[in-house]
Amino acid sequence: MICYVLGLVLFFAMASAKVQYHDFVVQETPVKRLCKSLNAITVNGQLPGPTLEVYEGDTLVVNVVNRAKYNVTVHWHGVRQMRTGWADGPEFVTQCPIRPGGSYTYRFTIRGQEGTLWWHAHSSWLRATVYGALVIRPRQGTPYPFPKPNRETPILLGEWWNRDPISVIRQATRTGAAPNVSDAYTINGQPGDLYNCSKQDTVIVPIDIGERHLLRVINAALNQELFFSVANHQLTVVGADAGYLKPFTTNVLMLGPGQTTDVLISGDQAAGRYYIAAKPYQSAQGVAFDNTTTTAILEYKSVACLPKGAAKPTPVFPSLPAFNDTATVTAFTNKLRSPRRVSVPLEIDENLFFTVGLGLNQCPPNFNSNQCQGPNGTRFTASMNNVSFVLPSNWSLLQAHKFGVPGVFTTDFPAQPPVTFDYTGNVSRSLWQPQTGTKLYKMKYGSRVQIVIQGTSIVTAENHPMHIHGYDFYILAQGFGNFNPRTDTKKFNLIDPPMRNTVGVPVNGWAVIRFVADNPGVWLMHCHLDVHISWGLAMAFVVEDGVGELESLEAPPHDLPIC
């Protein structure tokens, strides 16, 4: 009888899951923003691209056809990709790129995740315009763990350049200098009221008196952490990175690129129009950034139905923090908690310490001054544990691992910094230039992993949003200065830490994360400020197969692109 009941439960669970098929056509599309028209790379002619809505347990089959002039891949940011690393998407890590005229079908199942994720290009700077929301609802018949909203709206925060973003990063690579900053931020692809030629296209988010609205906020910006607020409305945070949180109310969010946050707002204000706004959080001193503000409008239904010719009221503007308000960021992140006690690994097999930060390379002898326009005739670089990551070009790392191709990578990425120094103090100039290499760190299946991620003050200290592909992790603690294992270990939250896929390492500070390496394959870890990964602020883990088929990487698909 027990077997019969378990069989019925399994049958209905499988029956409720569906296979969804989608076609993504990557193509040039004429787009007008900020009074200027240009051809942007889009998916299906949309900016942002299509929102994919699935239920937990569903399988996605997405055929990506590349009709653009650049190589492209698509990453499903935050999806665990259990045993399906071939579908993860980062260029030259889990696959070779889809060449112009080519195609590739991503196939993966979403298990054990509910909430908001997103997808984006993972080739050069294409994700400036190639991105979209991925909404994961509970299985049908399973309620949200919070009051059911009357409406849901994805809010994608983006960044816009008045030129081809690929040309922006190519110019920076050629000159060795920092890339030009963006010309605007966007909400759902539109800059909003405060920018030239943008007012008529400002995004309107509807609400009604007494209504409960779920905003799925995604920071899809390339290089900027962002504050987010809605005028006169409290935000009740209920989830982040496709995981639920212990609800709390706040007036402002801060999201690093890659992060998502689910918030409930209530239609409890006077019927009117209220700005939804996002502006930069800029933690690095003396670094140029786009200091503008993007807006949308929360509009009550009664205002939308005014008599013809009646002027709509001017929206109320929210109070946003100063661009360098680290105290507000710290207060916000300290409130994030899992809804209940979680199973944090208590015994550690891999105790890792990774420094992250910028650097400067001396101008090579064969370069001219136009190629060394960084500070004092140098070229910008970045590294983890003094290794600036170099992607291969003839094989993907996952292919090289699976088929044993020699010479593509080594597995000697250091578990600790090669030199111990005052990471957040006055760092000797002799430590500013890192090594280069394609170094990976190998782990056995099932390893219990702790990583202390330590920011450095080389060139400039700043908040680094660090993302690990293929894994969620618990954030045990964050702090400022140099991590001290004798005193800072006492601060670890081993009861209800938040689970994320992207952690903000505080400016001149550190973060500690833990996870179990239960997903075989090759998984990239990198800063989600794209300029930093362009400079080499990345590494990758090789997680070996475990025992049997269910602990082993699946075979590669037949249509995997070749290099």
pLDDT, tens only, 179-201: 999 999 999 999 999 999 999 99
Whether residue 35 contacts residue 53, with contact meaning beta carbons closer than 8 Å, is answered with no
What value does the mean pLDDT take over residues 425-431? 93
Of 525, 485, 521, residue with least CA distance to 505: 525
Q: Which residues pair with 302 in a beta bridge?
A: none
CATH number of 350-551: 2.60.40.420
For the chain, give the mean pLDDT: 96
Residues 6+ apart with CB under 8 A from 453: 354, 356, 464, 466, 503, 505, 510, 511, 512, 513
**Tokens describing residue 216:** 């799925």
Assess contact for 238 and 244: CB atoms under 8 A: yes
Q: Could you tell me if residue 495 is left (phi over 0), alpha (psi between -120 and 50 degrees) or otherwise beta?
A: alpha
Each residue of 82-93: pLDDT tens digit? 999 999 999 999
**Residue 168, both tokens:** 């922006």
The CATH code that applies to domain 146-338 is 2.60.40.420
The residues of the chain that CATH labels 2.60.40.420 are 13-142, 146-338, 350-551
Would the pLDDT of 245 be above 50? yes
Q: What is the pLDDT of residue 12?
A: 46
- Whether pLDDT at 327 is above 70: yes
- pLDDT for 15: 53
> Is pLDDT at 14 greater than 90 in this prediction?
no
Give every CB contact of residue 292 below 8 A, 6+ residues apart in sequence. Answer: 184, 185, 194, 195, 279
pLDDT interval class at 119 (50, 70, 90):
very high
- For 6, 83, 110, 483, 545, the CA distances from 447, given in Å and listed in that order, are 31, 16, 23, 23, 11
**Does 11 have pLDDT greater than 80?**
no
As given in the structure block, the two tokens for residue 266 are: 């209530």
Confidence of residue 306 (pLDDT cuts 50, 70, 90): confident
**Burial (CB count within 10 angstroms: exposed 0-12, middle 13-18, buried 19+), residue 198:** buried
158 forms bridges with which residues in the sheet?
186
Please state the length of the chain: 563
Helix (H) or strand (E) holding 533: helix 530-535
**CATH class of this structure's domain 13-142:** mainly beta
Tell which phi-psi region holds residue 242, choosing left (phi > 0), alpha (psi between -120 and 50) or beta: left
pLDDT score of 518 more than 80: yes
Question: CB–CB of 67/26 below 8 Å?
Answer: yes
The H or E element containing residue 63 is strand 59-66
Mean per-residue pLDDT, 7-35: 80
